[in-house]
Amino acid sequence: MESIFPALYILAAASFILAIKWMSSPSTARRGVIIGEIGMLLAVVGTLLRAEVVSYQWIFIAFLIGSAIGVPIAYYMPMTAVPQRTAFSHACGALAAALIGAAEYYRQMPHGVVMIALIVEMLLGFLTFTASMMAFGKLQEVLPQRPITYRGQNFVNLGIFILAVIVGIALILSPERTWLFPIFAVLSLVFGVLLIIPIGGADMPTVIALLNSYAGLSASAMGFAFDNKLLIVAGALDGSSGFILAVIMCKAMNRSFSNVLFGAFGTIQTTTKQAVARPVRSASAEEAAEILHSARKVVIVPGYGMAVAQAQHKLRELSDILTKRGIEVTFAIHPVAGRMPGHMNVLLAEADVPYDRLIEMEDINPEFPRTDVALVIGANDVVNPAARFEKNSPIAGMPILNVFEAQTIMVIKRSMNPGFAGIDNDLYYLDKTLMLFGDAKSFVSGIVKELNAVAAGS
């Protein structure tokens, strides 16, 4: 039986690698998820068959409890809450790694390399747990989304982290000093909280990716502590892919890690006197339908407002109607639209929008000057021209979708409130922009109804 374990672990590791490769493309993402699940099943079966496992009683109880929590979450949590669910998953995985490390410390009090690996595992696990729960709270809006800052905050955070490291080193040198362990755990947990409170909602996509990296590194450290090569491989894959994704997100927002972690970006604008004084042009669903009916090329730009309103299915219906009339319809996807990487892709795929209509920012931007109508659904900062033309703007240099170059712009939005970055959007005040105020799903339904009426009348 022992000879089977290496084969199962090798197959599981290969499955994880293929899963990451295939999930990099929408056309193969489903295959990637399936092969990743198979890999995890192989890893779990291989572990349960090991000779060290002498009783399955507590494992079976834990399996039932985990299933009772996980299955309802998977079935009943809406797609709009996927970012929160992701943050919660990171918290659970990190806490599991930290608790396993704590149990191993009290059981054996190891020395040398094993103790170093345990300290790294627990430090990352504890801080990732509380940081992920804070991110969950911000995304769920049970905590303030705006940054919470105070003078000397970065020094306080760094001081707590250094103290945790010092206590961790003391435990490595003298594992028998068990009284130090609760101090180490509390410092790690507190640092996780303090790490997230100064970060605003605009940076949550990057934070999620970064926390994913921390959770993976914690699992990899656990692999070193337990001499489990599969954990090392899986954790390293998770850690490296999460870090690379965070780099991509920072590049997409033209921000560095230091800006994200210490910049307090995302302060909500409390007053918009300038916005109140500037006139905007609005339109009805009937007027919007007439404009779309006469267009030849339409680009739909989805944002978080679309996710909140669950408008993706109505958007697909609108897209199908326009396509049947010979109008070219595509969807412009910004890397950080929504609250997590790939958020818009997931929602549109759920609505069965064809993959070839989902066009990434670099490919769609040259098409906007030839676009008759750009229909923006709940997107804000990712279409704000201030990033391109205002050097003093908080989002200056951030790559955006060049919606402002379209011939006609229509924006479906509940109000004139700013987005996560908390700044006004000049796009709304252009002469060629029409504001379509209302719930995205209801307004798109109205446009669909009017388009059908136009077709019936012609």
User: Residues 113-125: pLDDT tens digits?
Assistant: 889 999 999 999 9
Highest averaged pLDDT of the listed ranges 150-164, 188-202, 361-375: 361-375
pLDDT of residue 377 exceeding 50: yes
How confident is the model at residue 380, as a pLDDT?
Answer: 85
In tens, the pLDDT along 128-168 reads: 999 999 988 887 778 877 777 778 888 888 899 999 999 99
How confident is the model at residue 273, as a pLDDT?
Answer: 41
Bridge partner list, 408: 373
Of 134-138, 158-162, 201-205, 444-448, give the lowest mean pLDDT range.
Answer: 201-205
Same domain, 250 and 366: no
3 or 376, higher pLDDT: 376
Same domain, 253 and 284: no
Classify residue 156: in a domain, yes or no: yes
Distance of CA 356 to CAs 157, 166, 333, 441, Å?
46, 53, 12, 23
Bridge partner list, 435: 282, 411
In tens, the pLDDT along 15-48 reads: 999 998 888 777 788 899 999 999 999 988 888 8
Distance of CA 96 to CAs 102, 106, 188, 228, 274, Å?
10, 16, 15, 16, 50
How confident is the model at residue 201, as a pLDDT?
Answer: 65
Structural domain count of the chain: 2
Classify residue 245: in a domain, yes or no: yes
**Number of H-type helices and E-type strands within the chain:** 18, 6
Classify residue 337: in a domain, yes or no: yes
Same domain, 249 and 316: no
pLDDT of residue 309 exceeding 90: no
pLDDT of residue 274 exceeding 50: no
Three-state DSSP state, 3: coil
pLDDT of residue 202 exceeding 80: no
Classify residue 51: in a domain, yes or no: no
pLDDT of residue 8 exceeding 80: yes
pLDDT of residue 204 exceeding 80: no
CB 199 within 8 A of CB 253: no
- The yes-or-no answer on residue 426 being catalytic is no
Rounded CA-CA distance 359/365 in Å is: 9
Marked catalytic residue, from 203, 381, 426, 439: 381
How confident is the model at residue 159, as a pLDDT?
Answer: 92
Same domain, 243 and 300: no
Same domain, 352 and 406: yes
How confident is the model at residue 269, as a pLDDT?
Answer: 43
* Mean pLDDT value across the chain: 84
Three-state DSSP state, 415: coil
Same domain, 234 and 258: yes
Among candidate residues 262, 295, 326, the one where a domain is terminated: 262
How confident is the model at residue 368, as a pLDDT?
Answer: 94
Same domain, 152 and 279: no
Same domain, 232 and 284: no
**Torsion region of 302: left, alpha or beta (phi above 0 gives left; psi -120 to 50 gives alpha):** beta
Q: Which domain holds residue 137?
A: 77-262
How confident is the model at residue 270, as a pLDDT?
Answer: 41
Same domain, 414 and 312: yes
Classify residue 187: in a domain, yes or no: yes
Residue 142 CB coordination number (10 Å): 9
Among candidate residues 243, 262, 281, the one where a domain is terminated: 262
For 303-310, what is the mean pLDDT?
84
Here the CATH number for the domain that contains residue 376 is 3.40.50.1220
Among candidate residues 231, 262, 293, the one where a domain is terminated: 262
Same domain, 95 and 204: yes
Three-state DSSP state, 222: helix
Residue 56, burial from CB neighbour count under 10 angstroms (0-12, 13-18, 19+): exposed
Rounded CA-CA distance 84/72 in Å is: 15
79 or 273, higher pLDDT: 79
Chain mean position to CA 391: 27
Same domain, 165 and 193: yes
Classify residue 45: in a domain, yes or no: no
Same domain, 357 and 235: no
Classify residue 167: in a domain, yes or no: yes
How confident is the model at residue 349, as a pLDDT?
Answer: 81
How confident is the model at residue 455, as a pLDDT?
Answer: 62
Classify residue 110: in a domain, yes or no: yes
How confident is the model at residue 275, as a pLDDT?
Answer: 42
Percent of all residues in the chain with a pLDDT value above 90, rounded to a whole number: 29
